C-alpha cells in the first residue's frame, strides 16, 4: 500500500533536507506549522489530514537552508517557547547549559533576585531564568533594536513584562550589581566555516568576534567585577575549544572561573564568581 499523502509529503520533504541533522523532524515541524497544529497532534492523527499548499512553500524555503525556527516563528528553550525571527540568533539547546549552571550555583538557596542578560537577543536566557525563579526580576541588554523588539514581545507573551526590562546597550554595563549574569556573546572566528543556514541567515553581529573569537570576552572580563553582587555568579557561553583561553581573560580580571560542559561533554560555559 502506498503511503498516504501526508506521509508521502513528509518523506519527500525529508529527502530534500538531507543537509540537515534532523531532516524528518524538520519536515514534521513544517507540516504541523502549515496545518496550525502541534507536531504531537500531527503524529497522532497524520492520516486524517490533507497537505496544504503552504507546506510546499515552507519546504522550498527550508531547502534554501532557511532555519526552521524562522519558518515557524517559534523555538522551545528550557521551559519556555519563544518567538524568533530574522534579526536574532536562534536559541540552541547548548545554551541551556548556562541555566543548568545557574541552577546548580543557587541550589539550596532562594535563588537570584536580580538577573542581567547581556546580549539578550530573543530574551531566551533572561526569560528562561525568570521562569525558573518566579520572584526574580531582570534586565536584558542588546545593541540591536530588532532583537530588543522581539525580546520585549516574548516577555509580554510569557506574562513577564512586569519583571523583565529590555534596554539598548553594548558591553558598557549597567552600573548595577546582579545576583546572576547570563551572556551568550559572539564567539566565532571571522574566517570560520559555518553551515549556510547559520552563515546566510543568522545575524553576523551575534556570531563573529574577531580573528580568534575572543574579542567580546576581552570586553566582558573587566566589566564583570562591577556587575556581580557578593555571592553572585556569571554564566557565559563559550565555543567548545575556547575554554582555557577564555577563562584566562576572566581570571586576569580577578574573578574565579570554572568550566561546565554541555550534554555532549564539551566545554560550553564559564562559571564566573567574584
C-alpha cell at 189: 572566528
213: alpha, beta or left? (left if phi > 0; alpha if psi -120 to 50): left
Q: Domain for residue 76, yes or no? A: no
pTM: 0.94
Compute the residue count for the chain.
274
pLDDT in tens, 199-228: 999 999 999 999 999 999 999 999 999 999
- Does one domain contain both 247 and 136? yes
pLDDT in tens, 107-116: 999 999 999 9
- The pLDDT-based confidence of 168 (bands split at 50, 70, 90) is very high
- Does one domain contain both 139 and 195? yes
- Does one domain contain both 52 and 125? no
Q: Which domain holds residue 10?
A: 5-64
Number of domains in the chain: 2
Q: Domain for residue 267, yes or no? A: yes
- Does one domain contain both 116 and 252? yes
CATH of residue 90's domain is 3.40.50.150
- Does one domain contain both 263 and 142? yes
Rounded distance, CA 175 to CA 56, Å? Answer: 50
- Does one domain contain both 262 and 153? yes
- The pLDDT-based confidence of 2 (bands split at 50, 70, 90) is low
Q: How far apart are the first and last CA of the chain?
A: 66
| Residues in Cβ contact with 48 at an 8 Å cutoff, skipping those fewer than 6 apart | none
Paired with 32 in beta bridges are none
Q: Domain for residue 72, yes or no? A: no
The mean pLDDT value of the chain amounts to 96
Q: Quick check: 131 pLDDT over 80?
A: yes
DSSP state letters, the chain: -PPPHHHHHHHHHHHHTTTSS-HHHHHHHHHHHHHTS-HHHHHHSGGG-PPPHHHHHHHHHHHTT--HHHHHSEEEETTEEEE--TTSPPP-GGGHHHHHHHHHHTTTS---SEEEEET-TTTHHHHHHHHHSTT-EEEEEES-HHHHHHHHHHHHHTT-TTTEEEEE--TT--S--EEEEEE----B-TT----HHHHTTS-GGGTB-SSSS-HHHHHHTTTGGGTEEEEEEEEEE--TT-HHHHHHHHHTTT-EEEEEE-TTS-EEEEEEE-
Q: Domain for residue 74, yes or no? A: no
Give phi and psi for 16, each to the nearest 5. Answer: -75, -20
The reported pLDDT for the residue numbered 233 is 98
Rounded distance, CA 188 to CA 273, Å? Answer: 24
17: alpha, beta or left? (left if phi > 0; alpha if psi -120 to 50): alpha
Tell me what the mean pLDDT of segment 125-132 comes to.
Answer: 98
Q: Using the 3D structure, point to which of 64, 95, 110 is the last residue of a domain.
A: 64
Q: Domain for residue 14, yes or no? A: yes
Percentage of the chain beyond pLDDT 70 is: 99
- Does one domain contain both 221 and 141? yes
Rounded distance, CA 57 to CA 79, Å? Answer: 30
Q: Quick check: 1 pLDDT over 70?
A: no
Closest CA to 246 of 169, 175, 186, 174: 186
Q: Domain for residue 75, yes or no? A: no
- Does one domain contain both 10 and 46? yes
Rounded distance, CA 209 to CA 95, Å? Answer: 18
| 9 vs 4 pLDDT, higher one | 9
The reported pLDDT for the residue numbered 46 is 96
Q: Quick check: 3 pLDDT over 90?
A: no
Amino acid at each position: 500500500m502506498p503511503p498516504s499523502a501526508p506521509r508521502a509529503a513528509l518523506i519527500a520533504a525529508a529527502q530534500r533536507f538531507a543537509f540537515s541533522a534532523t531532516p524528518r523532524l524538520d519536515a514534521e515541524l513544517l507540516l504541523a506549522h502549515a496545518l496550525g497544529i502541534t507536531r504531537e497532534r500531527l503524529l497522532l492523527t497524520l492520516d486524517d489530514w490533507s497537505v496544504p499548499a503552504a507546506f510546499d512553500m515552507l519546504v522550498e524555503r527550508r531547502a534554501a537552508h532557511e532555519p526552521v525556527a524562522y519558518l515557524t516563528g517559534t523555538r522551545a528553550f528550557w521551559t519556555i517557547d519563544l518567538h524568533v525571527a530574522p534579526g536574532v540568533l536562534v536559541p540552541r539547546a547548548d545554551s541551556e547549559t548556562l541555566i543548568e549552571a545557574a541552577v546548580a550555583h543557587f541550589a539550596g538557596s532562594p535563588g537570584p533576585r536580580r538577573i542581567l542578560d547581556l546580549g539578550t537577543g530573543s530574551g531566551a536566557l533572561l526569560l528562561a531564568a525568570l521562569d525558573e525563579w518566579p520572584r526574580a526580576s531582570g534586565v536584558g541588554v542588546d545593541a540591536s533594536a530588532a532583537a530588543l523588539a522581539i525580546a520585549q514581545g516574548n516577555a509580554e507573551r510569557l506574562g513577564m513584562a512586569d519583571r523583565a526590562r529590555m534596554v539598548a546597550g553594548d558591553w558598557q554595563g549597567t552600573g548595577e550589581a546582579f545576583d546572576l549574569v547570563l551572556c551568550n556573546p559572539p564567539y566565532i572566528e571571522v574566517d570560520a566555516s559555518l553551515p549556510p543556514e547559520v552563515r546566510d541567515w543568522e545575524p553576523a553581529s551575534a556570531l563573529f568576534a574577531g580573528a580568534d573569537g575572543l574579542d567580546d570576552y576581552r570586553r566582558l572580563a573587566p566589566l564583570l567585577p562591577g556587575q556581580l553582587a557578593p555571592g553572585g555568579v556569571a554564566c557565559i557561553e563559550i565555543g567548545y575549544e575556547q575554554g582555557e583561553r577564555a577563562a584566562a581573560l576572566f581570571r586576569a580580571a580577578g574573578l574565579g572561573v570554572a568550566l561546565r560542559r554541555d550534554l555532549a561533554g564539551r566545554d560550553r560555559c564559564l562559571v564566573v564568581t567574584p
